[in-house]
């Protein structure tokens, strides 16, 4: 049995490695494409938000009080003169100027009255008009709002709430929070994509070409055939998943607008990720192989696998909602358990019991599916599309 089993694996490996195009598209291309795509996306997002430090915003200011004349220099404002506010707002809409600020005519007197009476009901209305579709306009608006908030606190300061040490989160905390919300989804997506590129061709493809009949008439147990194919497919899919994962990890610093490497994870994190990914790949390959066995062609197998991939994508976005799934039975739900485990690992919340439950449940489901496929291989109507 061992000889036949390894013969099938060698056959599948030979079919894979003799084709340089398949090696490139499966092993190297996913990581390259992901790195380039997300790097370009990050560069585009950063470029759309960045404003030149030497940029001087153009502004229309009405009734500028003497006490706030420093705002012009502080915010690098070039004052524009227009007939009225409506004209200035029109220019903002046309993106000719960045912001319009309208102060009350007796602003300084009102400030004095507030300081003397400490009457918080005597609020002063300051009107700001900007165009959020222009990054410079949005930038100066945020800066001026921040300026006014600071000015307001300097006038009446009732509360003193940790102004210097309010946020004690570390860069590692913020990085892991972002990674744990998006990477599980990406990993599941790329694992599915890799499996869908491989499994239909290995089973449905041979059925479509008629070569499966030649394989089945050999003195090889059909269970050995399907086990050999699935083990080979798991190996190929893992190469695809590792390539995709490396591409993502290299692109994340650029997405975070940071030059730091992702050195926040230790060897135990990577081992946990690898074990979960292996069990997940085994499950996904088993599911797509089952669909492929039922299909008459590669196209049909791919079409039938697409809804399964869509459902998995919907499941994989759950970490973005910060919902708690602490009960053990969540770790028994296929795909969802892998998403939860990956999220835990990336969040530095490694729980050995949850990881073991996930790996065991995925393995049990995979073995059960492989047993079903093995029985299906003994059904001539299914195998020969009768």
Give 185-198 pLDDT, tens digit per residue. Answer: 878 888 888 788 77
| Mean of the per-residue pLDDT values of the chain | 79
Mean pLDDT of 227-235: 82
Name the H helices within the chain.
2-17, 20-23, 29-49, 70-74, 85-93, 107-117, 135-155, 171-202, 204-209, 211-216, 222-255, 267-294, 298-316, 336-346, 352-377, 380-383
Residue 99: strand, helix, or coil: strand
- Which tens digit of pLDDT belongs to each residue from 151-181? 777 776 555 544 444 444 555 666 667 677 7
The beta-carbon contacts of 361-366 under 8 Å, at least 24 apart in sequence, are 361/331, 361/332, 361/334, 361/337, 362/279, 362/280, 362/282, 362/283, 362/334, 362/337, 362/338, 363/279, 363/282, 365/283, 365/286, 365/334, 366/279, 366/282, 366/283, 366/285, 366/286
What are the structure tokens assigned to 373, written together?
């496929």
Give yes or no for residue 30 having a pLDDT over 80: no
Least confident of 89-103, 250-264, 304-318, 328-342: 250-264
Give yes or no for residue 360 having a pLDDT over 90: yes
Q: What percent of the chain has pLDDT over 70?
A: 81
Give yes or no for residue 349 having a pLDDT over 70: yes
Considering only residues 163 and 265, tell me which one the structure prediction assigns the higher pLDDT.
Answer: 265
pTM as predicted: 0.66
Least confident of 6-15, 78-87, 278-287, 297-306: 6-15
Considering only residues 166 and 34, tell me which one the structure prediction assigns the higher pLDDT.
Answer: 34
């Amino acid at each position: 049995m061992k000889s036949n089993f390894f013969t099938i694996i060698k056959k599948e490996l030979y079919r894979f490695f003799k084709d340089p195009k398949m090696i490139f598209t499966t092993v190297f291309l996913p990581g390259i494409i992901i790195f380039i795509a997300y790097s370009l996306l990050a560069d585009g997002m950063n470029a759309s938000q960045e404003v030149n430090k030497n940029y001087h915003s153009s502004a229309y200011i009405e009734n500028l009080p003497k006490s706030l004349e420093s705002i012009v220099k502080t915010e690098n404002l070039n004052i524009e003169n227009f007939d009225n506010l409506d004209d200035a707002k029109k220019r903002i809409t046309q993106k000719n100027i960045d912001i319009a600020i309208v102060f009350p005519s007796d602003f300084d007197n009102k400030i004095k009255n507030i300081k003397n009476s400490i009457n918080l009901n005597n609020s002063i209305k300051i009107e700001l008009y900007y165009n959020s579709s222009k990054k410079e306009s949005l930038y100066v608006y945020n800066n001026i709002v921040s300026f006014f908030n600071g000015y307001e606190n300097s006038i009446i300061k009732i509360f003193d709430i940790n102004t210097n040490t309010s946020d004690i989160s570390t860069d590692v905390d913020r990085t892991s929070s972002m990674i744990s919300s998006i990477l599980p989804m990406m990993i599941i997506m790329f694992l599915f994509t890799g499996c869908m590129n491989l499994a239909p061709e290995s089973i449905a493809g041979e059925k479509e070409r008629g070569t499966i009949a030649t394989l089945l008439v050999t003195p090889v147990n059909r269970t050995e055939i399907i086990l050999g194919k699935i083990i080979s497919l798991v190996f190929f899919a893992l190469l695809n998943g590792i390539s995709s994962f490396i591409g993502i990890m290299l692109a994340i610093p650029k997405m975070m607008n940071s030059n730091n490497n992702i050195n926040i994870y230790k060897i135990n994190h990577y081992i946990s990720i690898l074990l979960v990914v292996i069990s997940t790949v085994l499950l996904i390959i088993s599911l797509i192989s089952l669909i492929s066995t039922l299909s008459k062609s590669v196209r049909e197998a791919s079409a039938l696998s697409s809804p399964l991939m869509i459902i998995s994508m919907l499941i994989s976005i759950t970490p973005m909602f910060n919902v708690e799934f602490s009960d053990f039975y969540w770790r028994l739900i296929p795909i969802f358990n892998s998403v939860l485990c990956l999220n835990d690992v990336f969040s530095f919340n490694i729980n050995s019991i949850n990881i073991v439950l996930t790996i065991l449940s995925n393995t049990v489901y995979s073995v059960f599916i492989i047993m079903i496929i093995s029985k299906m291989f003994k059904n001539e109507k299914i195998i020969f599309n009768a």
